[in-house]
Amino acid sequence: MNSIEETHVSRPGLVVVDVATADAATALAFQQMLADRWATATAQRTTRDAGQPGVRLRCYLDLRQPEVPVTVPSAGEGGPQ
DSSP reduced 3-state for 35 = helix
DSSP H or E run through 18: strand 14-21
Q: Which of 9-13, 23-27, 39-43, 61-65 has the lowest mean pLDDT?
A: 9-13
* pTM beyond 0.85: no
pLDDT of residue 51: 87
Is the distance from CB of 21 to CB of 29 less than 8 angstroms?
no
Residue 9 CA to residue 27 CA, distance in Å, equals 22
